[in-house]
Amino acid sequence: MKTNIKLLFAAALLALYSGCSDDIIHKQPLDELAPATLLQTESGFRSALDGVYGLMKQDFNGYSFSIYTIPEAISDDLLASSDPNDYSFDNSVESLYPLTYNSATGAIEGFWRISYQAIYNVNTIIKQARSSSLKNKDVFLGEALGLRALLYYNLYRFYAPAYNTNKTALAVPYRFETDALLTIKPRSTTQEVIGYVLADLKEAAALANNTVNSYRISKTAIYALMARVYHETADYKNAVLNANLALADSRYKLDNTLSALEKEWDKDESNEIIFRIRFEKTETAQTAALLAIPVYSSYPYSVSDDLLNLYDKNKDIRFTVYFKNHPFIKGSYYPKKQAGTRTTNAAAFDPGNIDLKLIRVPELYLILAESYLHENSNSAALTNLNKLRNARGLGDYSGNNLSTEILNERRRELAFEGFRFTDLKRLGLGFTRTDGTGLPAHADRFALPIPQTEIDRSGLKPNPGY
Amino acid sequence: MKKMTSKKVRTALLFSLKTSLKKKLAALFLIASVLDVQSGNDSKKLKTANKQVVTITHEISNQQKIHGIVKDHTGLPLIGVTIVVNDKQQATTTDFDGKFEITVTNGDVLSFSFLGFKTKKIKITDQVLLHVTLEPSTKELDELILVGYGKTSRNKITGAVTKVDTKVLQNTQNVSFADALIGVVPGLFVQENFASPDAPPSILLRGVGSISASTEPMIVVDGVQMPRSGLGAFSLNAADIKEISILKDAASTSIYGSKGTNGVIIVTTKRGNRNAGLQVSFNTRLGLKKADESFTNDLMNGSQKLDYEESLGFYKSNPALLQKRRNSNTDVNWADLLLKNEINRENDISFSGGSDKINYYTSVTYNNVENIFGSHYKRYTATTRVDFDWGTRFKVGFSGNFGNVNEEDKRTIGSPFSNAFLLNPWLTVFDENGDPLRLLDVGNSSGIPYNPLYVRDNTNVSANRKNIGGSVNLTYTPFRWLSLNGVLGANYNSTKSSSFEKVIVNGGVLSYANGDNNNYTGTLTATIAKKFKKHNFDIVMGNEFNEYETNSLSVFARDFNSDAIQTISAAKTVSTLSERKSHAGSLSYFSRLNYSFDNTYNLSLSCRRDGSSRFGDNHKYANFWSVGTSWNIHDDFFKESMHVSSLKLRASIGTSGNDFIGDFASQSLYGYRSQINYAGSAVPYLTRGENADLTWEKNNNKNIGLDYGLFRNRISGTIDYYIRDTKDLLNSKPLPLTSGFTELISNVGDFRNEGIEISLHLLNFRNKHFSWTSDFNIAFNKGTVLSLSNEKDLLINSGSTVFKEGSAIRSFYITDWAGVNPKTGFNQYRSKDGKLTDYNTNRTGSNTNEINGLRQVVNKTSIPKYHGGLTNTFQFRNLDMSFLISYAGGHYVLNKGIYNLYNNPAFNQHVTVAAAWKNPGDQADLAVRQVYLARPTSAMVSDYKASSQFLQDASYIKWKNITLGYTLNKIVSDKIGIQRLRIYVQGQNLLTKTAVSYIDPEYATASGGIGLSSSLLRGYSFGLNANF
């Protein structure tokens, strides 16, 4: 009897001890969050969206260097330095400028990788927002859709030929928020990608609002982006419509003094900036070293005469803001526009950061001018061109080649912001630099190669010509 | 309802499963306070006991002193036999000659006990001289060996288990006891670590069994699993260790399931003896270590370096600077300035003893190291262990450890070792007052980099580590054949470190980190031992839980107003602030059956079921099993043989696993760990994709072994052959970039390690005055990648070694260097088809991508093909000597140190660099040196690093240590009241033969690299052991 009691006691001990095990082997992470948990609140959505901007810019190859250095190194506004002592942080002078880039070129793979990483993150937000019951979720959904449109538009811009010249050419794979992690999507055509981008923007415009500042995608930024995409794809009526909707936001307007323009580019302070990627002083991204590094006396690029000759050196307030005399080469200029000094610390050889101003008011006037012209409203075109010219210290345009002048004004105003590359593609132009390098019109190389890593891993079709 | 009841019961039993830290700490305090109380009681009892002894001596007049000698059945004296009078009153042990003396009264019963021998009792009836012969407890010296959740006799063991002779623990001069395992355990590859005075060695058992998860064995101390961060996670002093077993094959490790894959090191610590008076053991040691500085002979001197710089054109625009530097005629030996001699001290003292119901052991250790970088290191450890019988059926054991380390680690400031190589000899280092200058010149410019001596003088660095560990052990034996055992163990670590570089250096920089982790293991086992005639059954059944929690905070802050305030909040800029927390838990059930027939035929079966929080929802649980068998051939065939004294064949097969994969690796989560910011705020992003199918790495082990003993065991040893297959290896699998990630943690491949381990113990000579034994071991291992889920992609985990299907594990992935092209001056690399390609290192014309493409997986690996050691032990009268030669071979290392000495023209370089190619037609061993004159400090590539040019054979043979000791004659030591007194001198790392330049070959990493991290460190010390 006693024996049985002992045995029973021992058995009971064991049984009790091993009960209630769930809390031991089911644990939740403590310093990481599941998407469904983070995106339960409005502040969670805000942080997650800011996380996407953060991701986009955290690497040279994304939206801190490559978004500008890729298109600028493949155009005719800049000439590479032949001095071996000049260098650029992201190596664009050597890897891109000679126009011999291939599917293994670092920046080309990097921009692709970061764009899709950002897309995965933004898709996660879109997916959660669509099923969210938060009152204010639409605003975040709108911003997320706008951001996704921006990411895909830039992928299209880099890796596909222009929609205008080839609507059925392969662009990039389009991943929706519903695509599973391991699903492999083939490349969509330029027409399909532009269709998806516009669909996102239309949905976004209806949802977003204008409570966010220029560090994030606001409703105005969405209209401006829509105007850009319509303009790019020659839907001028809609381009006009959306550019005007964007300009209706009284927060953003043209600067019209030298000091204001100087402040915009040197100190990142301006009412012209509708959307920018923000860089704080504490960050080590060194975006102020994009195209020139004065604190290192390194000038990887000088400005092409082609571009310089478009300006009225005396009257145009942009000239001294955008260019500066090369300290070593007489008569030559280096691009000063993207070398602001807001956070420069010359003593510590730190070029510091500038904000990357991705959407600005003057572009909208140029879109209006060009679109009105295509819609045969010459006077409206001229009015809008002159609004910009007047703001830049120039008088009204009096010549008779309005169409060329609008394009020249576009090149003047938007120099070193990546637009020249897109315009060459869109307009079916080629270029030849004074050093003999260049691309003929409609060259395959205007569409960057699909990265080899991607081809190896998902079997995508490469772009022709590589 | 049920929940409540169980909760109460568990709380009552101290087995608190709650995760809240408070409760855990409460449990710890409870253990600690019980310990305190208990040790208090104990010392009282002790005092009483001592008094009694004293009284006896005075009051009883018919006492007499008797002498004697204890020998084994072969007639050799036995050292350390415990002799107890009347089961309690008095005790002593035999000395080196097997002799003893003790005071007794007629009618007393002396009992002689020694591990592995039958205890003998002798009643005193007027004897004065006793000659005692002890018989082995079984046929041969059948010792008990630690295995998972118990002990078993050597005869019945079916697995590959090495019992370490703990005498080797005396042979290391390092703080970490595990350094004593170098070269003594067949199949265990141990490499000394020089990073910090107590940095534990790296340990690899039977080859590399994982790609990205840990490859270190699990450590179990007194039945409690130590945290997975390994030996560094707890402080254990060598002198407190009683036994060490290394479990190697499935039959022995499978009972640890998902934690057993890399082998298990089981340690038990010393406890007091029952019925023994107070024993005090005191050890002290003073040592010196010296870094080998012969590398300075291969560096340029001041004028050579200036010549070289001039030839590169550094001074074209400023010849006056060159003249100034030449005129100063400086030739600094940076090694002398940056490296010092290490002085280390160790003192430990332990007290132990016991009555018939209770025994205790307590010890204190103090280490002090002033190492070669000028670091200060102090460690205290204290341990207390008490076991007592609670009635006749319960036994209770408590143990507690505390360790505290204070360290000023100067190794982390100003990179002393690499700077000893790389700083220019022509530099002006001190000002006219003899104080180090703030700035040093570099290349053709002045005053940019900081003087490491200056930075060292102006940096406050401190670190503190604390470790508290304890366990409660309860054994209930309701029947002779059944015992129930519960162990609750906890281990708590905290670390804090800060480094403050003063404002004067560069505005003030603070880096601060603190962290803590705690780990709980609770184990309940039921052990059944039954014998029916010749059938012997041992059954263990058990249940175990383990919980682990870790927290850390690190901050990097800049720009301070004053050195007087060094807090984070006083910094103007906090550039990094990262806090991490994680936890994990596992729950397991296990059982093992050992069946033995007549001690000749043995069978063991084990199984374990593990549940772990670390695994994806689709794989919460996994099962592990093993079957082992052994056959005492000796008993069947050689019983009468004069030559064969023992022979046993073992075979085992089974599984184990590896759950060290990251706590939440299967989930896609928003991470806040690595700082990314937007618009001034830290923002989260998704750090990885989800893989709900993620499962643990599985090991499938097969082992065949032979234990042999010849000529009355004068020759004995073991031979093991194993095949260790690892399946479902975890690593990042490449993903299409469009997925949003570049990789996904997945189960990607299978490895095989197979090998042979041989150990040989030779009793070369033994008589009354002299004995000589040799222990030799060698292990051969061959690791192969059986499959990788993505055949096309090489897995490049880190460094220059890769994993490729069909190739050896961690094969080098390098270019084939074909010397220098005399025409162009560039290095040439040979492609597979023999074509030579120049590596154009001009800054603008670089074809690095092309050369990258020439890398091939070669038939050379970073993992040794063989390793082992040879220990010789001598005993001559009172003198003892032992020395160890350790070796490893068949592996290679990419010497990045040499690469740096060739490719950093602005810094000091190897003398041969001056003879690099200059003009077409030059026949040179070194390609043309590139320099970027605008910024000479930015290293320009002249050679391709991952190439056979820098690959060196990492094989080495080392005279690892030697100890020479002298034990004072007992007659002499008794006079000064000491039972045993030994003095000794030691040497460590005295000679090394290797092809690796400058750096200690033990510093080669598994990933195949070695840098300018540490040259050979030779150590010398002398010390004293005393027992009284």
Secondary structure in 3-state letters for B872-895: EEEEECCEEEEEEEEEEECCEEEE
**pLDDT of amino acid B14:** 34
**pLDDT of amino acid B41:** 39
A99 touches chain B (CB under 8 A): no
**pLDDT of amino acid B10:** 38
Give pLDDT tens digits for B391-406.
888 999 999 999 999 9
B62 touches chain A (CB under 8 A): no
Pair of tokens at residue B977: 């009241």
- pLDDT beyond 60 at B27: no
A454 touches chain B (CB under 8 A): yes
Pair of tokens at residue A425: 């593609």
**pLDDT of amino acid A14:** 56
Give pLDDT tens digits for A163-187.
999 999 999 999 999 999 999 999 9
Contacts of residues B790-796 at CB distance under 8 Å and 24 or more positions apart, as own/partner, are: B790/B733, B790/B734, B790/B748, B792/A456, B793/B734, B794/B857, B795/B211, B795/B731, B795/B748, B795/B749
β-bridge partners, B779: B757, B867
- pLDDT beyond 90 at A126: yes
Pair of tokens at residue B566: 């060094």
* Residue B586 CB partners (closer than 8 Å, separation 6+): A24, A25, B258, B259, B545, B546, B610, B611, B612, B613, B614, B659
Mean pLDDT of A333-361: 93
Q: Are A71 and A99 in contact (CB under 8 A)?
A: no
CATH number at B62-135: 2.60.40.1120
Task: Report the complex ipTM.
Answer: 0.93
Mean predicted lDDT score pLDDT of chain B: 85
Dist. CA B180–CA B422, nearest whole Å:
33
Residue type, A51: G
Among candidate residues B717, B705, B706, the one with its CA nearest the CA of residue B773: B717
B479 touches chain A (CB under 8 A): yes
- pLDDT beyond 70 at B4: no
What is the tally of helices (H) and strands (E) in chain B? Answer: 13, 52
**pLDDT of amino acid B133:** 83
The SS3 assignment for B36 reads: helix
Q: Are B223 and B489 in contact (CB under 8 A)?
A: yes
Give pLDDT tens digits for B934-952.
666 666 789 999 999 999 9
A27 touches chain B (CB under 8 A): yes
Q: Are B987 and B1020 in contact (CB under 8 A)?
A: yes
Q: Are B287 and B343 in contact (CB under 8 A)?
A: yes
**pLDDT of amino acid B837:** 92
Task: Write down all domains in chain A, each with its CATH number in brackets.
Answer: 35-458 (1.25.40.390)
A185: nearest CB among B13, B15, B738? B738
Across the interface, whether the CB atoms of A17 and B744 are under 8 A apart is answered: no
Residue in chain A closest to B475 (alpha carbons) equals A10
A298 touches chain B (CB under 8 A): yes
Gyration radius from chain A CA atoms: 26
pLDDT-derived band at A230, boundaries 50, 70, 90: very high
pLDDT-derived band at B598, boundaries 50, 70, 90: confident
A5 touches chain B (CB under 8 A): no
Helical pair A361-374 and A219-232, crossing angle rounded to 10 deg: 40
A35 touches chain B (CB under 8 A): yes
State the smallest CA–CA distance between residue B847 and chain A in angstroms. Answer: 11
Residue in chain A closest to B670 (alpha carbons) equals A33
CB atoms under 10 Å from CB of A297, counted, come to 11
Across the interface, whether the CB atoms of A457 and B734 are under 8 A apart is answered: yes
Contacts of A54 in chain B (CB under 8 A): 676-678, 683, 685
B685 touches chain A (CB under 8 A): yes
Across the interface, whether the CB atoms of B669 and A33 are under 8 A apart is answered: yes
Contacts of A8 in chain B (CB under 8 A): none
Across the interface, whether the CB atoms of A32 and B613 are under 8 A apart is answered: no
Give pLDDT tens digits for B689-705.
988 888 888 889 999 99
pLDDT-derived band at A6, boundaries 50, 70, 90: low
Contacts of B934 in chain A (CB under 8 A): 85, 297-298
DSSP string computed for B973-1018: HHHTT-SEEEEEEEEEEEEEEESS-SS-GGG--TTSEE-SS---EE
**pLDDT of amino acid B170:** 86
pLDDT-derived band at B933, boundaries 50, 70, 90: confident
Across the interface, whether the CB atoms of B739 and A181 are under 8 A apart is answered: yes
Among candidate residues A117, A88, A103, the one with its CA nearest the CA of residue A339: A88
Mean pLDDT of A110-127: 97
Helix (H) or strand (E) holding B189: strand B188-191
Could you tell me the maximum CA-CA distance found in chain B, to the nearest angstrom?
A: 103
Across the interface, whether the CB atoms of A17 and B740 are under 8 A apart is answered: no
Dist. CA A465–CA A441, nearest whole Å:
14
State the smallest CA–CA distance between residue B6 and chain A in angstroms. Answer: 5
Residue in chain B closest to A179 (alpha carbons) equals B739
**pLDDT of amino acid B3:** 43
Q: Are B794 and B1001 in contact (CB under 8 A)?
A: no
β-bridge partners, A350: A345
Q: Are B243 and B845 in contact (CB under 8 A)?
A: no
Contacts of A18 in chain B (CB under 8 A): 543, 587, 589
Interface test mutation site (partner B, options A32, A281, A283, max chain B beta carbons within 10 A):
A32
Dist. CA B697–CA B719, nearest whole Å:
28
Lowest average pLDDT, out of A85-94, A441-450, B44-53, goes to B44-53
Q: Are A28 and A22 in contact (CB under 8 A)?
A: no
β-bridge partners, B493: B467, B517
A85: nearest CB among B585, B742, B934? B934
Give pLDDT tens digits for B114-153.
776 778 888 887 777 888 888 766 544 467 888 888 888 8
- Tell me the CA end-to-end span of chain B in Å, nearest whole number: 58
Q: Are B588 and B609 in contact (CB under 8 A)?
A: yes
Cα-based angle A415, A419, A421 (whole degrees, multiple of 5): 110
**pLDDT of amino acid B845:** 65
Residue contacts between A and B (CB atoms, under 8 Å):
205
Tell me how long chain A is: 466
Mean pLDDT of A89-99: 89
pLDDT-derived band at B165, boundaries 50, 70, 90: confident
Pair of tokens at residue A16: 């009790």
Dist. CA A195–CA B338, nearest whole Å:
66
Percent helix, strand and coil across chain B, each rounded to 5?
A: 15, 50, 35
State the smallest CA–CA distance between residue B575 and chain A in angstroms. Answer: 7
State the smallest CA–CA distance between residue A362 and chain B in angstroms. Answer: 24
Pair of tokens at residue B442: 């570099």
**pLDDT of amino acid B33:** 39
A53 touches chain B (CB under 8 A): yes
State the smallest CA–CA distance between residue A113 and chain B in angstroms. Answer: 5
Across the interface, whether the CB atoms of A25 and B667 are under 8 A apart is answered: no
The strand pair at B879-889 and B892-895 is best described as unpaired
Lowest average pLDDT, out of A273-277, B43-47, B900-904, goes to B43-47
| Token pair 């029916």: residue | B532
- pLDDT beyond 50 at B208: yes
A17: nearest CB among B15, B842, B935? B15
Interface list for A 171-210 with B (CB within 8 A): 173, 175, 181-182, 184-185
Interface test mutation site (partner B, options A6, A9, A24, max chain B beta carbons within 10 A):
A24
Mean pLDDT of A243-247: 97
Tell me how long chain B is: 1028
- φ, ψ of residue A304 in degrees (nearest 5): -70, 145
Residue type, B911: V
More confident residue, B940 or A299: A299
Residue type, A47: S
Dist. CA B394–CA B549, nearest whole Å:
32
Among candidate residues B562, B557, B611, the one with its CA nearest the CA of residue B584: B611
Q: Are B95 and B69 in contact (CB under 8 A)?
A: no
Cα-based angle A332, A338, A344 (whole degrees, multiple of 5): 105
Residue in chain B closest to A180 (alpha carbons) equals B739
Pair of tokens at residue B754: 């197979």
Interface list for B 19-58 with A (CB within 8 A): 19
**pLDDT of amino acid A4:** 61
The SS3 assignment for A158 reads: helix
**pLDDT of amino acid B39:** 39
Interface list for B 606-635 with A (CB within 8 A): 611-613, 620
Give pLDDT tens digits for B705-739.
999 999 888 999 999 999 999 998 888 888 999 99
**pLDDT of amino acid B50:** 38
B664 touches chain A (CB under 8 A): yes
β-bridge partners, B590: B542, B608
Its pTM stands at 0.81
Residue in chain A closest to B15 (alpha carbons) equals A17
Pair of tokens at residue A13: 């001990």
Helix (H) or strand (E) holding B649: strand B644-658
Residue in chain A closest to B586 (alpha carbons) equals A25
Across the interface, whether the CB atoms of B679 and A35 are under 8 A apart is answered: no
Residue type, B986: Q
β-bridge partners, B732: B745
Helix (H) or strand (E) holding A139: helix A137-159
- pLDDT beyond 90 at A365: yes
Contacts of B740 in chain A (CB under 8 A): 116-117, 119-121, 123, 175, 181
The SS3 assignment for B719 reads: strand
pLDDT-derived band at A35, boundaries 50, 70, 90: very high
The strand pair at B697-710 and B677-678 is best described as unpaired
B737: nearest CB among A3, A58, A453? A453
Lowest average pLDDT, out of A82-86, A430-434, B24-28, B1002-1006, goes to B24-28
Cα-based angle B163, B167, B173 (whole degrees, multiple of 5): 120
Q: Are B659 and B620 in contact (CB under 8 A)?
A: no
Give pLDDT tens digits for B320-373.
889 999 998 889 999 999 999 999 999 999 999 998 899 999 999 999 999 888
Interface test mutation site (partner B, options A181, A215, A328, A448, max chain B beta carbons within 10 A):
A181
Question: Any idea what DSSP says for residue B248?
Answer: -
The strand pair at B1009-1010 and B892-895 is best described as parallel
Contacts of A29 in chain B (CB under 8 A): 582, 663-664, 667, 669
Mean pLDDT of B208-212: 85
Across the interface, whether the CB atoms of B934 and A298 are under 8 A apart is answered: yes
Across the interface, whether the CB atoms of A51 and B846 are under 8 A apart is answered: no
